[in-house]
Structure 1
Amino acid sequence: MPRCSVVLLLNFVPPYRVALLQALEREVRRLTVLVSTGMEADRSWKTDWRGLDVRVSRSLTLPYRRRHPDGFREDLSTHLSVDMLPRLCALAPDIVISSEFGARTLQACLYRCLAPLLGRRTRFLVWATLSEDSERGRGWARRTLRRLMAKRADGAMTNGESGARYLESIGFAPERIFRVHQSTDLDRFASLHTAARLPREASRAVRLVTVGSLIPRKGLRPFLQHLIAWCETNTDRVLSWRLIGDGPERTALEELLLPANLKLTLIGDVAYEDVPSLMADADLLAFPTLADEWGLVVNEAMAAGLPVLASTRAQATGEMITDGQDGWLFDPTDPVSTETALGRALNTPAASRIAMGDAARQTAARFSHANTARRMIEAIEAVWDQ
């Protein structure tokens, strides 16, 4: 296909996605990114688009609360972009890629229907960053609207097999679904050297790190209860758990009574560029999420050479981690599963953890921005040639 113009519709541009969009920009004739907001209010990141053509649309932000079938609640917001359709008409892109399945994607779908009447050849891709766990309990109205959009879309990009199964369930044909994994800037994290995690058998302390918002969905309080129980049983061992991030769960975490051999450190929000250095001296990443459409911190930790004690409720876990090789897997809703995986991870000798970290780094190398951009281009070419 000829080098085409692409318009990408997003909520906002997070810092971990800038390098990927730059890689995509190099492969197309023109890339324009239309966002609903410069930065979401609950994010501590600074806006930095680094030369990308990013334009902020006029939007209404509506907060709402969602209760997941697993019992936790989320305070979320939806952005209603009121001028997306006229902006698309003015830009006249060859390819429209819209993230998620909300109002902006509906306007992209309408543009796809209007384009032939305007004498334009346009293709429309949904960028569905979701999983079966993240979408459970969404409701019949949302599912019905998604089925309608699936009929008009030329294809969908999703981040893994769970996402692909969900897309098939709402009407996408398998040949119109393209696997486009989430990726991170490997160089930023791969610069950490395993020398920072040399075996320390004399102290017998294990250092865990977790990165992310302190919200119920991340499963932090239940996981801390498991750590407390483990430390009370293994009084001769010492654990240190560092949490990087902030949120409404902070107070509840601080109020829990901890045994003397468990140290909890709440770092709070930090700049994205400071995260790698705060991972450098950890022995493993703990990721006890109750539902995540991917879990990019898994990529980051594995790129930094950390094995991952990971929840199976995140799609990154199924796509990246081999149990016992570069991490340990558990179901956070199953106490026995959690306790078993926790015991295996904490009783793994330090030298073996470092070897697992080396294996994790090799796995992470396959999830590069270059590979993700290549898969996006393949999806664009496939729908263009339909």
Structure 2
Amino acid sequence: MPPLKRPSTAADETGDLRPDPPTMRVAVLTNILPPYRVPAYQLLANTPGWQLRVMLNAESEFDRSWDVDPGDLDLEVIETISLRRSDTTLHLPSPRRLLAALGRFRPDAIVSAEFGARTLISWLYCAWRSVPLVVWAEHTRARMRAAGPLRRLLSGFLAKRAGTVVVAGAESRRTMRELGVSDDRILEAPNTHDTIVFAEVQNGLDVDAARESRRAQLGCRSQVALVAGRLFSVKGIEPLLVSWQRLPEEVRSQWTLLFVGDGPLAQAVADAVASRPDGEIVHVPAVQPRELVGFYLTSDLLIFPSLGDVWGLAVNEAMACGLPVVCSTRAGCAEDLIVAGENGWLADPLDVTAFTAALKQAMTCEHRNTLGERARTTLRPYTPEATAEGVRRAVRLAREMNGKRQPPHRGPRLSA
């Protein structure tokens, strides 16, 4: 990730004074800056009357290889203890540092991701300064139930005290209801890929020529089923390999199962490559999002065998490229994006019989291209503009509910 840039607040390079500050300061607190969030954050930063600052726990995480250009976003990385835990990174923010950063910026509203320590500290600040808190919650009921009792207790505590809660879709909305959040306080901001980058790459390619060239380079067969993402247990890699092995030979004979990604299960994928005939299973290390577009366009089908993703952005990306999807019913995006038989297929990867059947249906379907076009149509409303507007609405409603239609009186700053 390139060095983070923060715009000057006094004068630009020509020495001209910048305009007077906007009327409302909004702080967005999150773990890291993923590339797919940048367009939505830029749209939020351009909201008339807003000054946006994105506060990060870290520039990156151990399992992320993204090259992110934040552009002119106002960013601040707040020093945090980050611990690696199996397939994720646990961030432990310093209350003193986070409160000091908020005190310097003095936001009129805070948008904090997830129900963890960062949001608890944010709530304390909001209670002290009488400003609204919006929680951007990407959770599923399965993920919440798998959390420890203390985490569930904290989540319920914060959910009830947030002014509004932003969710990605139907599954996360149900999760918030179970935590006691009323429907009138839940607003949707759909998860979206970087539509600009994907459109740029697709418009600049001779798709048919690029497809044939890449398939020849990788040694793929006539049809390609893509698995794009980190090779972790939660991604369902192992049950997928079991289901693939159970497919009839006459079905697999024309297909390549193409993995693009890195992770602890890379060796399991390598073993599968070695155990099957040439071209049946192919593995490519992780690539940047812009490069990944070419792999979607090379493929005929996306397989998303997740065992617990809170959403599943690879599904968005594949559908934007006109691919139908075999999607896990355990993925947070399944209900919102996939209509079985219309733009993809749904099955539980842990039900090997059912998932194998879904794979067979997809791989032998004579109308996959039609389903792919329907998938592309399904995804059209899922844009960074829709994400940004959902967050704007949540902030506005939270301020109304907080009785703060005007910026609050700015009291003394918290000391660093």
Q: TM-score, normalised by structure 1?
A: 0.89
Instruction: Verify: 1:90 aligned to 2:107, yes or no.
Output: no
Residue in structure 1 matching 2:158, options 129, 149, 153: 149
Cα displacement (A) at 1:188: 2.8
Pair 1:11-2:21 in alignment: no
**Contact 2:326-2:358 at 8 Å conserved across structures:** yes
1:170 to 179, 200, 208: 179
- Work out the CA distance in 2 between the residues paired with 1:127 and 1:37: 18
Q: Give structure 1 regions of 4+ aligned residues with deviation exceeding 6 angstroms.
A: none
Q: Secondary structure at the match of 2:119?
A: helix
For residues 231-310 of structure 1, what are the structure 2 equivalents within 5 Å? Answer: 231-232=248-249, 234=251, 237-256=253-272, 258-260=275-277, 263-310=280-327
CA offset at residue 30 of structure 1? 0.5
Q: How many equivalent residue pairs? A: 366
How far apart, in 2, do the equivalents of 1:75 and 1:8 lie?
21
* Distance apart, 1:34 and its partner CA: 0.4
The percent of aligned pairs where both chains have the same amino acid is 32
What is the SS of the residue equivalent to 1:12? coil
In the alignment, is the contact (CA less than 8 A) between 1:95 and 1:123 conserved in 2?
yes
Runs of 5+ unmatched residues, structure 1: 66-73, 117-121
Query: Which amino acid counterpart does residue 127 of structure 2 have in structure 1?
Result: C
Measured against aligned partners, the alpha-carbon deviations of 1:5-59 in whole angstroms (never above 9, x if no partner) come to 2100010101111111111111152000000101112211124211100100021
CA distance in 1, matches of 2:143, 2:291: 28
2:376 to 334, 358, 361: 361
> Given the alignment, which residue of 183, 196, 202 partners 1:192?
202
Match of 1:24 in 2: 44
Distance 1:278 1:108, change over 3 A: same
2:268 and 2:160 map into 1 onto residues whose CA distance is 45
Q: How many angstroms apart in 2 are the aligned matches of 1:172 and 1:40?
A: 31
Q: Distance in 2 between matches of 1:266 and 1:234?
A: 20
8 A Cα contact 2:194 2:384, kept in partner:
yes
**Which residue number corresponds to residue 122 of structure 2?**
108
Q: Deviations over 1:248-279 (max 9, x none)?
A: 10111211364437621111121222110122
- The 10-residue stretch of structure 1 (99-108 or 186-195) with the greater mean CA deviation from structure 2: 186-195
Instruction: Please tell me the residue identity of whatever aligns with 1:84.
Output: L
Matching residue of 1:160: 169
CA distance in 2, matches of 1:166, 1:322: 21
Amino acid aligned to 2:61: E
CA offset digits 1:145-199 (Å, max 9, x no partner): 122222321111111121112112222222111122101122433453896379x
Q: Which moved more, 1:74-83 or 1:169-178?
A: 74-83
CA distance in 2, matches of 1:7, 1:103: 16
Deviation, 1:75, is 4.8
Counterparts of 2:94 and 2:374 in 1: how far apart (Å)?
A: 44
Tell me, in whole angstroms, the C-alpha distance in 1 between the residues paired with 2:324 and 2:76: 39
- Distance in 2 of aligned mates of 1:187 and 1:91: 31
Say which of 67, 78, 92 aligns to 1:57: 78
* Whole-Å separation in 2 of the counterparts to 1:126 and 1:75: 21
* Distance in 1 separating the partners of 2:94 and 2:305: 34
Out of 365, 370, 379, the residue aligned to residue 348 of structure 1 is 365
Contact kept? 1:231, 1:239, Cα under 8 Å = no
How large is the Cα RMSD of the aligned pairs?
Answer: 2.2
Q: Quote the Cα distance in structure 2 between the aligned partners of 1:361 and 1:3.
A: 39
Residue 315 of structure 1 aligns with which residue? Answer: 332
Q: How far apart are 1:204 and its partner, in Å?
A: 8.5
SS in 2 for 1:280: helix
Q: Secondary structure at the match of 2:165?
A: strand
CA distance in 1 between partners of 2:249 and 2:92 (Å): 46
Relative to 1, partners in 2 of residues 1:207 and 1:64: Cα closer, same or farther, differing over 3 Å? closer
Contact 2:239 2:352 survives alignment (8 Å): no
Q: Work out the CA distance in 1 between the residues paired with 2:223 and 2:94.
A: 47
Give the Cα separation in 2 of the matches to 1:316 and 1:347: 24
Q: Is the 8 A contact 2:82 2:90 kept in 1?
A: yes
1:40 is aligned to: 61
Post-superposition offset of 1:90:
2.0
Is 1:329 matched up with 2:342?
Answer: no
TM-score by length of 2: 0.83
**Match in the other structure for 2:411:** none
- 8 Å CA contact 1:210–1:242 kept in 2: the answer is yes
One-letter amino acid matched to 2:106: A
**Distance in 1 between residues matched to 2:330 and 2:261, nearest whole Å:** 20
User: AA paired with 2:164?
Assistant: G
Determine if contact 1:182/1:294 at 8 Å carries over to the other structure.
yes
2:135, 2:162 within 8 Å by CA — same for their partners in 1? yes
SS of the residue corresponding to residue 266 of structure 1 reads strand
Q: Is the 8 A contact 1:189 1:301 kept in 2?
A: no
Q: Aligned partners of 1:354 and 1:144: how far apart in 2? A: 46
* Structure 2 residue matching 1:315: 3-state secondary structure: coil
Partner Cα distance (2:350, 2:362) in 1: 18
